[in-house]
């Protein structure tokens, strides 16, 4: 190779190296195949490819070129009570046109039933809306808890500790794996106010937050601060519109019409059952108002 040739090859190497430096080189990966499921492990933090087409005439490659433009389909965790006993719950949730991913029985044992694979859609939320998104079956994991509450009769039943331990550990596992935001851990009542009351005012949301780090809860200091700012005139359309705006900001589906209509009142009741369960009458008193403000300050600043 003459001098001219050396210079040329040096330049082309330079361009080659430059282009290599700017393009992404796929990381070296270890591929493990279990039946038709391909799990690709990598030292880098990459998503798993767990389901893929398997074709007779084409090689659907498992080479690791993951797109960075992806996120979880699951964004919400919805908690329910079944209102019927364990035996009936299992029957209904597996043989009727309603289901959930998990069922928590009311026995003091170590069992949690998986009824629907997490990659599949369970039919638990029905007509629902949260944070502007509807039909939450598409985007949520549903947990049914055996509890004989009866919202329509206004009778609710407490949850034993051993049951809450199961709910807590399972929920913590789910929100961690899907990185579900605290305010997206909701009750059926939150996403379908007026239509559904579960898991009811006796469900210990605060305990779920303090003992398991699951879901949202307000800071007491903020609540007391806002209580002192509770306005005198709480009947004006300006005040009511602000409450509606705050409820919507947190996630509830309400209009901003300045009126305590049925939809708004039902949302307030659902909010109170979740965050102020001592009194859920649909009236925005100082404490309800302050808790709503404190939650938005913490989670939607």
* Residues in touch with Zn ion (CB under 5 A): 80, 188, 198
Q: How many CB atoms lie within 10 A of CB 90?
A: 18
Give least dist CB 81 to Zn ion, A.
7
Annotation says 144 is catalytic: yes
Backbone angle region of 283, left / alpha / beta, with phi > 0 → left and psi within -120 to 50 → alpha? beta
**144, 169, 253, 287: which is the annotated catalytic residue?**
144
How would you classify the pairing of strands 102-104 and 113-114? antiparallel
> Toward Zn ion, which CB reaches closer, 142 or 282?
142
Give least dist CB 69 to Zn ion, A.
34
Report the distance separating Cα 244 and Cα 33, nearest Å. Answer: 52
Give least dist CB 128 to Zn ion, A.
10
Kindly tell me the burial class for residue 136, based on how many C-beta atoms sit within 10 Å of its own C-beta (0-12, 13-18, 19 or more): buried
Report the distance separating Cα 104 and Cα 123, nearest Å. Answer: 16
> Toward Zn ion, which CB reaches closer, 80 or 129?
80
Report the distance separating Cα 37 and Cα 15, nearest Å. Answer: 40
> Toward Zn ion, which CB reaches closer, 198 or 253?
198
Give least dist CB 38 to Zn ion, A.
35
> Toward Zn ion, which CB reaches closer, 198 or 287?
198
Q: Which residues are catalytic?
A: 144
């Amino acid at each position: 190779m003459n001098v001219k040739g050396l210079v040329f090859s040096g330049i082309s190497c330079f361009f080659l190296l430059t282009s290599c430096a700017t393009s992404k080189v796929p990381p070296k990966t270890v591929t493990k195949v279990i039946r038709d499921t391909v799990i690709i492990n990598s030292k880098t933090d990459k998503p798993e490819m767990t389901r893929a087409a398997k074709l007779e005439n084409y090689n659907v490659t498992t080479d690791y070129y993951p797109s960075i433009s992806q996120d979880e389909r699951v964004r919400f965790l919805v908690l329910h009570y079944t209102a019927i006993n364990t035996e009936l719950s299992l029957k209904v949730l597996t043989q009727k046109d309603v289901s959930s991913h998990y069922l928590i029985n009311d026995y003091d044992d170590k069992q949690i039933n998986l009824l629907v694979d997490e990659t599949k859609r369970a039919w638990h939320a029905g007509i629902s809306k949260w944070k502007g998104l509807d039909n939450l079956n598409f985007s949520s994991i549903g947990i049914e808890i055996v509890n004989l509450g009866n919202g329509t009769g206004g009778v609710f039943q407490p949850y034993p500790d051993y049951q809450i331990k199961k709910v807590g550990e399972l929920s913590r596992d789910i929100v961690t794996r899907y990185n579900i935001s605290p305010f997206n851990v909701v009750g059926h009542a939150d996403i379908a106010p007026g239509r559904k009351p579960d898991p009811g005012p006796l469900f210990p949301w605060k305990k779920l937050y303090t003992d398991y780090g699951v879901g949202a809860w307000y800071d007491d200091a903020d609540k007391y601060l806002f209580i002192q700012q509770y306005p005198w005139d709480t009947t004006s359309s300006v005040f009511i519109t602000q409450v509606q705006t705050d409820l919507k900001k947190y996630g509830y589906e309400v209009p901003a019409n300045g009126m305590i209509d049925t939809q708004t009142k039902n949302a307030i009741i659902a909010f109170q059952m979740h965050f102020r369960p001592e009194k859920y009458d649909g009236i925005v008193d100082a404490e309800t108002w302050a808790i709503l403000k404190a939650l938005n300050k913490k989670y939607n600043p």
